[in-house]
Structure 1
Amino acid sequence: METCKIGRNGTVVIPAKLRRRFGLKDGGLVIFEEMKDGLTIRPAIALPVEVYSARRKAEFLLNNAADAADYKRALRAVRKLGLDPADIPHKRP
């Protein structure tokens, strides 16, 4: 266990030994998680956000339909996207 002081603007210096152990680098991201008895600090990663086209959304909807009722819902949703389900490559459940 390590003890640190809280500096100006809430700055906390994480001891070098712990930074090395957990792979924390300058400018890296951490997560502060509130617990019943205090805070937990964990390394974090940032993932890029994927933006899907209407056609790609239609592929997901149609290919992931689990049963006939789900497939019907997917067909309606694809049509709402302004696409013809027949033009989207997929397998019916």
Structure 2
Amino acid sequence: MTIQVNITPNGRMSLPAEIRKRLGLVDGGAIFLEETEDGIVMRTAAQAVARAQALARQYAAGQPAADAASFLAGRREDSGE
């Protein structure tokens, strides 16, 4: 879906209510903008976290103990705790 959103002279723009509702931004909220070769991608915080987790899984695939708990345990061990 493509929609036109106007930007005011001071740089503000408004997302239509139906889109905010679908994205769970009814009471406001944060979105993240990513500039790509093709333009700008907007993501909600939940979408940005899910994307980061997917990328982390991709790079950690096949590596033993790639979770946060294992990382912290290794750091404690390295520091002598």
Normalising by the smaller structure, the TM-score range is 0.5 to 0.7
Matched to 1:41, the amino acid is M
Q: Which runs of 4+ in 1 moved over 2 A?
A: none
Matched residue, 1:29: 30
Gaps spanning 5+ residues in structure 2: where? 47-71
Calculate the TM-score normalised by the size of structure 2: 0.54
What do you get for the CA RMSD once the two structures are aligned? 2.9
Check if 1:61 corresponds to 2:62.
no
SS in 2 for 1:18: helix
Matched residue, 1:48: none
The alpha-carbon deviation at position 62 of structure 1 amounts to 7.7
Higher Rg: 1
Number of aligned positions between the proteins:
57
The alpha-carbon deviation at position 8 of structure 1 amounts to 3.4
The alpha-carbon deviation at position 39 of structure 1 amounts to 0.4
SS in 1 for 2:41: strand
The alpha-carbon deviation at position 40 of structure 1 amounts to 0.8
SS in 1 for 2:10: helix
Matched to 1:60, the amino acid is A
Calculate the TM-score normalised by the size of structure 1: 0.48
Gaps spanning 5+ residues in structure 1: where? 46-58, 64-73, 84-93
Alignment of 1:8-87 (within 5 A): 8-45=9-46, 60-61=73-74, 74=77, 77-79=78-80, 83=81
